[in-house]
Chains A and B, each alone.
Chain A
């Protein structure tokens, strides 16, 4: 998997500052772990991570979002559009996303089958 964000040292990873997003590969499964906020300034990093997911061969790609505190509508849109572009049979598993992300996905993409949500 390519680089969707800089490899951050652990102390920076745990320190959440306003409007930042860190993305790093998951150690034990295909996908990314993200921390911070997905909004205008961090959207490029988020879209890079989604772009990399689309290039994976794995049937299920994971996005571990337990440390993501906010996702704006454009961030949700980028995810939904990436999911719609996946080949048949592939899907994205959202792990512990902020509740509002699930609600925005339900509001605008009620029929999106290629995204599965594992709730907080």
Chain B
């Protein structure tokens, strides 16, 4: 599992079956890193964090432990906040991260964003001295997820054996999960241009409040609505349509416009402190529980989900 000397960024998937394989595949990876003096972070679902903490014993204190179900609830913020958050804090050294962004409870609505996240890690970290090991629960996840993992990871470890992925093609995964998002006809649309930006925001807040959102979450959604609608005015053809509805215990806020979001890493790059602009989509990723995007030459739809 040691990084080949010729590549700086190393991104293997680890298919595990049961707790023993999980521990065998991850603990030596962590120990190797610590022995090499590399900063190590483990971002996995809470119960797995407990397993690793126990298996690592005293060494766990030297590892940054992160509950991925919280920090990575929205897959769109895992690159900027979790992975680059840790890697950028240690610019002088190779860093080692275990990142488990996909677990069996991820829903069908979340999954496309998870797969795109895994694919985009490759371009986000190209040329960086970083190793990111991504465990996949081969017993609990479906076939398509495991097939996609071959496309999003240049190397796959399965049954303790490491092999180059024969089907590595992360761009195709980004494209495939750029799925159309049909108009929710039942939700009233509010059409806005530059003059209606404030009222578009009030429209979102008023409807979200009626759907049960309150306090900080409602304030967060106001910020999110402002960024999405302002993006439409500035970059998306000057106008757009916003809709809000409830879906499975979440408030959904969607903005459609005529823009084309060509940069798949938009909203996933941490912004340098002295930079004036470019934080809109980053903020949207930080403050929401899921972001789904469909973009193409005919227009862009950004759909945000916030837990009530």
Asked if B226 and A39 sit within 8 Å, CB to CB, the answer is yes
**A120 CA / B283 CA spacing, docked (Å):** 23
**Beta-carbon contacts of B17-60 to A below 8 Å, as 1s and 0s?**
00000000000000000000000000000000000000000000
Contact residues of A between 73 and 120, Cβ < 8 Å to B: 73-74, 77-78, 80-81, 84, 98-100, 103-104, 107-109, 111-112
Number of interface residues of A (CB under 8 A): 25
- In the assembled complex, which residues on chain B have CB atoms less than 8 Å from the CB atom of A80? 273
- In the assembled complex, which residues on chain A have CB atoms less than 8 Å from the CB atom of B197? 19, 39-41
**Beta-carbon contacts of B258-302 to A below 8 Å, as 1s and 0s?**
000000000000010111110110010010000000000000000
Q: A81-B276, A108-B271 are in contact. Are A73 and B234 (CB under 8 A)?
A: no
Find A18's partner among B194, B199, B216, B275 (CB 8 Å cutoff).
B199
Find A72's partner among B219, B226, B271, B275 (CB 8 Å cutoff).
B226
Asked if A73 and B286 sit within 8 Å, CB to CB, the answer is no
Q: Which applies to chain B's interface (DSSP): helix, strand, loop or mixed?
A: helix
- In the assembled complex, which residues on chain A have CB atoms less than 8 Å from the CB atom of B233? 40
Q: How far is the CB of A33 from chain B (nearest CB, A)?
A: 21
**A57 CA / B277 CA spacing, docked (Å):** 27
Asked if A108 and B279 sit within 8 Å, CB to CB, the answer is yes
- In the assembled complex, which residues on chain A have CB atoms less than 8 Å from the CB atom of B220? 100
- In the assembled complex, which residues on chain A have CB atoms less than 8 Å from the CB atom of B286? 107
29 contacts between A and B (CB under 8 A): A18-B198, A37-B198, A39-B226, A39-B230, A40-B197, A40-B230, A40-B234, A41-B194, A41-B195, A41-B197, A70-B201, A72-B230, A73-B227, A73-B279, A73-B283, A74-B279, A74-B280, A77-B275, A77-B277, A77-B279, A78-B276, A81-B276, A84-B273, A99-B219, A100-B223, A104-B283, A107-B286, A109-B273, A111-B273
Find B276's partner among A41, A72, A77, A100 (CB 8 Å cutoff).
A77
**A98 CA / B222 CA spacing, docked (Å):** 12
Asked if B198 and A72 sit within 8 Å, CB to CB, the answer is no
**A39 CA / B275 CA spacing, docked (Å):** 18
- In the assembled complex, which residues on chain A have CB atoms less than 8 Å from the CB atom of B277? 74, 77
Give the A-B contact count at a CB cut-off of 8 A: 70
Q: A18-B199, A39-B197 are in contact. Are A73 and B273 (CB under 8 A)?
A: no
Interface residues of B (CB under 8 A from A): 194-195, 197-199, 201-202, 216, 219-220, 222-223, 226-227, 230, 233-234, 271, 273-277, 279-280, 283, 286
Interface residues of A (CB under 8 A from B): 18-19, 37, 39-41, 70, 72-74, 77-78, 80-81, 84, 98-100, 103-104, 107-109, 111-112
- In the assembled complex, which residues on chain B have CB atoms less than 8 Å from the CB atom of A73? 223, 226-227, 279-280, 283
- In the assembled complex, which residues on chain B have CB atoms less than 8 Å from the CB atom of A112? 273
Q: A39-B201, A72-B227 are in contact. List 15 more A-B contacts (CB 8 A).
A: A19-B195, A19-B199, A37-B198, A39-B230, A41-B197, A70-B226, A73-B227, A73-B279, A74-B276, A80-B273, A84-B273, A99-B216, A103-B216, A104-B283, A107-B286
